[in-house]
Chain A
Amino acid sequence: MTHRVLSHLERLEGEAIHILREVAGQCTNPALLFSGGKDSVVLLRLAEKAFRPGRFPFPLVHIDTGHNYAEVIDFRDRRAAELGEKLIVRTLDESIAKGRIVLRSATESRNRHQSVTLLDTVEEFEFDALIGGARRDEEKARAKERVFSFRDEFGQWDPKNQRPELWNLYNARIHKGEHMRAFPISNWTELDVWQYIAEEGLELPEIYFAHEREVVELPGGALLPVTDLTPIPAGKSSVRRSVRFRTVGDISCTAPVLSEARTVEDIIKETATTEITERGATRLDDQTSEASMEQRKKEGYF
C-alpha cells in the first residue's frame, strides 16, 4: 500500500489538536491563555481546528500587566471578537489596587508579578485547567515539563515529582482547588511556529515584523526599546534601527532584535539561520540566573 508520510508540521498539528480535545474531554472548567503573541495565535488556530464548527469549550483569558504594546492589545481584542469567543481580561493594576501585589518602584518589571494575578484568576473562576502556548524549546526548565502539568492548591509546580505521562493517555485528574496546565505546542520549535503561521496564513501584531524603532544599544548587544516605561538611561543616547520582536510580553523585559524581515517568509529564513536563542535575544529577565524560569514556574508562572 502507498503510504502518506506526514510532514513534521502535520504530526505536530495532529498531536496539538488531540491535546486540546483531551482538555475539553477531561476537564470541567478550562480556559485558554491568549496574549496576542505568536504562540497563542497558533493555539487559537489549533483550537479552531479542534472544535469547529462548534464553539470553543472554554473562554480566552489574558493576564494584562498594563505594560503591553497597544498594537498587541488591539490585536488581542479584535481577534477574540472575530472568533466570537469570550475573552476574560484580568489586570495587574487591579491586583495592585487590592494590595495583592506591591511594587517596589513604579517602573519595576511586572513580569514576575503576573503569577499572583494569574492564580487569583484561577481561584475567581474556579478554572481546573489552563491551556498555554509554552514550548519546550524555549527554555531548559520548560524542556522538562509534562504536556499535562499538575499544579497543587497553591498553584505550584514540583519539577522533582512529576506524574508519569504515557503515550498520549493524558491524566488530568485533580482534587478540588488544584489545577492542570496543558501545553499543546510543547513539542514545537520557534521555527515550527513560524512555518505554521506561513502555512495557515495567520495574522500577527505588526511588531513581529521589521519596523523602524527608537532603541538604546546596551552593552552586550541587547536593544532597549525607548518607551514611557523604559526611558533612555542616564548618560546613554538612542538610535533608530530596523527591528522586530521575537517574543511579545511585558514591555519592561522584552527587547527587539535587529532585523530587516518584513514578511513571514523572511522571518523563517532568519529563524533557520539565527545564532541566538529566542529567550537569549529578547528576554531581559531570564539571564539573571540559571534557574530563574524554574523558580517562576514553581511559583505558578505560565
Chain B
Amino acid sequence: MEKQITPQRHQGHEGAPRKEQEKDKEAFLGASLVPSSLGGGIPDNGLLRFITCGSVDDGKSTLIGRLLYDSKAILADAMDALAKSSRKRGLEEVDLSLLTDGLSAEREQGITIDVAYRYFSTGTRKYILADAPGHEQYTRNMVTGASTADLAIVLIDARKGVLPQTRRHTTLAHLMGLRHIVVAVNKMDLVDYDQAVFSTIQAQVGAFASKLGIPQLHFIPLSALKGDMVVDRGERLDWYQGPTLMELLESIELDSSEQDQPFRFPVQLVCRPRTEELIDYRGYQGRVESGRIKPGDAITVQPSGARSRVRRIELYGKELPEAVAGQSVTLLLEDEVDISRGDLIASAEHAPVPTRSLTATLAWLGEKPLSSTGRLVLRHGTREVRTKVGEIESRLDLEALEPVPVEDVAMNDIVTVTLKLQGPIAPDAHTVLRSGGSFILIDEATHNTVAAGLVLEPEYL
C-alpha cells in the first residue's frame, strides 16, 4: 500500500496511535513532575540532540518532516499551513521539507540556507534536531548545527551514492566531536529497495570512514518520502534486520561518560556581592564542561597553576552534594586564590598544562581567506588570547582524504596549522575532551567567527 501524505491522513491521527502517544506523554510528564503518583514507571530518558546532513536534495528536510509527522509531532494547524503552502506551490502531496525551510528566501528558492531547529518528544526521550543545509556555500551553518549535536544522520541518495558533500559532512561531524554517526541510505524506493545498492554504498562509506578514523557507523536503508524504516518498518525492506531510524534514536546511549572525564570548569564570572552578611563571599560561576566535582575535591587553576580545594557547591542559595557535566553552578574554594573570568578550574589530578603554541585542525568558515583577515583572537572556554598562524601544514583533500600541501586557507577548507598565542591557554587534545579541545577564531577587524578549531596536541611549555 502506498503511504501518501495528505492532510486527511493527519486527521486520522485522532485514532488509536495518537491516544496511545498521549498516554505515554502524560506518563512521561508525570514521571518528571510527581514521581510517585503519576509516574507509570516511565523514566525521563534525557535529551538527544541530532543533526541531519548530506548533499543537497538527498532528502534531509523530507526526513525530518517524516520523523515529526510519523511520531505525531506536527500539530494540526501547522499541518494545515503546510498543506496550504504546498498547494500554493502546485504540489499534490504535502511537501514535508517546508516544515524546516522557514526563511522566505529558502521557500522562494526551495533550498535550505541555515540550520533550523525542531523539537519533539516520544514519550520517553526529548529531541532537539537540526536540519542542516547541503550546499557547500552554507557549510558554516552545517558546522554550527553539528557543534552542539550528539549524533549526525548523514543522508545519501541511493541512486547517487557517496558525493563530495557526503564526505565533507561526515568528516566535519567527526571533527566536531559527534559520537554517533548514522548513515541513512535514502530514496530506496527509487532503486526498487535493492539490497545490493545498499551494500555497495555501505562498503563505499565504510572505506572512507576508516581512513578518517571514525570508529563506528550505523547504516539504515530507508525512504523518507514513503516512510519506510523511519518510524514504521514498512514491508519493502524485509532483507534489513536492524533497527528503524526511530528505534536507533530511542536506544542510543546518551553519553554520560563525559562525567568520567577530567573535571573542567571555565570561569565565567566571579560573584562578590560585598554586602554586610556576604562580605567575604567569593563564588566562581560557570558550567561544568566535563567531569564532576564535589566538596573536598582538589583543584588547579590554570594558567596560574594555583591550587585549592572545593569548599562548597551552590546553585541559587542551595548547597549541592555534587555537580556533573552540563550543570551550571557556583563554586566556593577553601583558599583565597586569584581567579577571574577566563581562568580554568580543573581537577588537580588531571590538570591540562598551559601552553602558548598549538597544532590544530581548523575548519575555516570565513568568507575571506586567512591571508586577508584581520588580527585573530582565539577563544578557548572563557579565555581570549591573540593568535597568529605560524605554519599551514596541510589541507585535507576531501576526495583522497589525505593531507595535501597548501599556501593559503579558503572558506570551507579543513587545514592543519600551528598557532602561536600571545598568552597561555590550558587546552586538552580534542580527541580526548570535546570541550577542552575546541576553540574558535575571531577576526578582530570584522568581529566575525572565522574558524572552528580542534586542538591536536598541545605543546607544553
Residues of A whose CB lies within 8 Å of any CB of B are 1, 3-15, 17-18, 21-22, 24-25, 48-55, 136-137, 139-141, 143-144, 146, 159-160, 162-169, 171, 173-175, 186-187, 189, 191, 195, 198-199, 265, 268-269, 272-277, 280-281, 290-291, 294-295
Contact = CB atoms under 8 A, between A and B. Distances in A.
Contacts of A143: 100, 102, 116-118
A187 to B, nearest CB: 6
A10 B326 CA distance: 8
18 contacts: A4-B324, A9-B32, A13-B328, A14-B328, A18-B328, A51-B269, A53-B271, A54-B283, A159-B105, A166-B449, A168-B435, A169-B380, A187-B117, A191-B29, A268-B29, A268-B33, A275-B75, A280-B81
Interface string B262-301: 0000001101110100100101011100000000000000
A165 B449 contact: yes
Chain B, interface size: which category?
A: 35 or more
List the 8 shortest-distance A-B pairs measured between CB atoms, nearest first.
Answer: A140-B102, A280-B77, A17-B328, A3-B256, A173-B447, A8-B47, A21-B268, A291-B104
A1 B260 contact: yes
A275 B324 contact: no
Nearest to B120: A189
Contact of B273 (A55, A189, A198, A274): A55
B459 interface: no
B278 A167 contact: no
Contacts of A140: 100, 102, 116
Query: Which of A137, A199, A275: most chain B Cβ within 10 A?
Result: A275
Contacts of B452: 164, 166
B113 A160 contact: yes
Contacts of B32: 7, 9, 195
B195 interface: no
A166 B147 contact: yes
Given A18-B268, A269-B26, A10 B447 contact: no
A174 B315 contact: no
Contacts of A17: 287, 328
Contacts of A14: 287, 326-328
B440 interface: yes
A228 to B, nearest CB: 29
Contact of B317 (A12, A52, A144): A52
A276 to B, nearest CB: 5
A175 B447 contact: yes
A3 B259 contact: yes
B143 interface: yes
A169 B440 contact: yes
A175 B374 CA distance: 15
Interface of B: 22, 25-26, 29, 32-33, 44, 46-47, 75-78, 81, 85, 100, 102-105, 107, 113-119, 121, 126, 128, 140-141, 143-144, 147-148, 254, 256-257, 259-260, 268-269, 271-273, 275, 278, 281, 283, 285-287, 315-317, 322, 324, 326-328, 341, 365, 379-382, 434-435, 438-440, 442, 447-449, 452
A280 B78 contact: yes
Contacts of B442: 171, 173
Contacts of A281: 77
Nearest to B128: A187
Contact of B341 (A1, A6, A25, A280): A25
A143 B380 CA distance: 27
A39 to B, nearest CB: 15
B443 to A, nearest CB: 9
Given A137-B119, A280-B81, 12 more contacts: A4-B324, A24-B269, A25-B268, A25-B341, A52-B317, A140-B102, A159-B105, A164-B140, A164-B144, A167-B440, A268-B29, A274-B75
A170 to B, nearest CB: 9
B278 A53 contact: yes
Contacts of A280: 75, 77-78, 81
B338 to A, nearest CB: 17
A52 B317 CA distance: 7
A294 B108 CA distance: 14
A287 B150 CA distance: 35
A52 B44 contact: no
A164 B365 contact: yes
A195 B438 CA distance: 33
Contacts of B449: 163-166, 171
Contacts of A175: 447
A144 B103 CA distance: 8
Contacts of B281: 53
Contacts of B144: 146, 164-166
A157 B379 CA distance: 25
A162 B141 CA distance: 8
A228 B126 CA distance: 43
Given A1-B259, A6-B327, A136 B254 contact: no
B308 to A, nearest CB: 21
Contacts of B46: 5-8, 11
A6 B324 contact: yes
A144 B115 contact: yes
A51 B278 CA distance: 14
A162 B114 CA distance: 8
B29 to A, nearest CB: 6
A78 to B, nearest CB: 20
A8 B44 contact: yes
A162 B81 CA distance: 26
Q: Which of A164, A174, A268, A291 has the most CB of B within 10 A?
A: A164
B104 A277 contact: no
A169 B439 contact: yes
Contacts of B439: 169
A101 to B, nearest CB: 25
Contacts of B316: 48-49, 52
Nearest to A136: B117
Contacts of A55: 273
A200 B434 CA distance: 32
A206 to B, nearest CB: 22
B269 A21 contact: yes
B271 A272 contact: no
A124 to B, nearest CB: 24
Given A140-B102, A269-B29, A189 B119 contact: yes
A21 B78 contact: no
A218 B260 CA distance: 57
Contacts of A173: 442, 447
Contact of B256 (A4, A21, A144): A4
Given A166-B440, A291-B104, A272 B147 contact: no
